[in-house]
Chain A
Amino acid sequence: GAVVSQHPSWVICKSGTSVKIECRSLDFQATTMFWYRQFPKQSLMLMATSNEGSKATYEQGVEKDKFLINHASLTLSTLTVTSAHPEDSSFYICSAAGTAGSGELFFGEGSRLTVL
């Protein structure tokens, strides 16, 4: 299947700093990528849908100024957690849609963010 790479796999930062997480589709072009957040032993919560060349669509309750999403190319989307606080500590996962209309989503390995 298609490969989606996420970087970094884990990051620790101080409260108040910003952290950028990258999501790349390695062997296919993804016009749409999705960003999820997952708390321990819970399901994935969709944060936003990222479309190449346009503004991201955020789910209700997700602060777009807090979680900046940029999808500058067909193979790269980034999530920046701005002015991070301990409550932002979580597992962030991206996914990319495969062939248009197939419904298949390929997930990255996830990024564990810990804010001290």
Chain B
Amino acid sequence: QQQVKQSPQSLIVQKGGISIINCAYENTAFDYFPWYQQFPGKGPALLIAIRPDVSEKKEGRFTISFNKSAKQFSLHIMDSQPGDSATYFCAASMNSGYSTLTFGKGTMLLVSP
């Protein structure tokens, strides 16, 4: 049973455009929702994270939107750049101290020059 569903599987965006990746979760006990960026051959790096007490969090060009009632959250990358081309994973955890993350299947983003 996949607890975090991520879409789309792949995404092509022109330079300067907005990249949008969506995730939906099932477990209402989740209370921590991070996004990770992974380049080929490298480990994931924490990009931005949100907790359900806020509906939006922005850090630079990256914004998370969170809809608790719909159990959905999304990553928006504004002014997408070729250097943003990577695989993005959403995740969720119950944050009971030392968290076990449940990952989405990932989205391969390609930003064309």
Contact = CB atoms under 8 A, between A and B. Distances in A.
Do A and B interact with each other, yes or no?
A: yes
B46 A110 contact: no
A74 interface: no
| Secondary structure type dominating chain B contacts | loop
Interface string A9-50: 000000000000000000000011010000001111010010
A76 interface: no
Candidate in B36, B44, B46, B98 with the most chain A CB atoms within 10 angstroms: B98
A108 B46 contact: no
Interface string A86-115: 000001010101001111111111101000
B104 A43 contact: yes
A95 B34 CA distance: 14
A42 B38 CA distance: 12
Interface residues of A, number: 28
Nearest to A46: B100
A105 B99 contact: yes
A44 B91 CA distance: 10
A107 B44 contact: yes
Contacts of A109: 42-43
A61 interface: no
Interface of B: 32, 34, 36, 41-46, 49, 89, 93, 95, 97-101, 103-106, 108
Given A105-B101, A109-B42, 14 more contacts: A32-B98, A34-B101, A41-B106, A43-B103, A49-B100, A95-B43, A100-B98, A103-B34, A103-B93, A105-B34, A107-B43, A107-B44, A110-B43, A112-B41
18 contacts: A34-B101, A41-B106, A43-B103, A43-B106, A44-B44, A97-B99, A100-B97, A101-B95, A103-B32, A103-B34, A103-B49, A103-B93, A105-B99, A106-B46, A107-B45, A107-B46, A109-B43, A110-B43
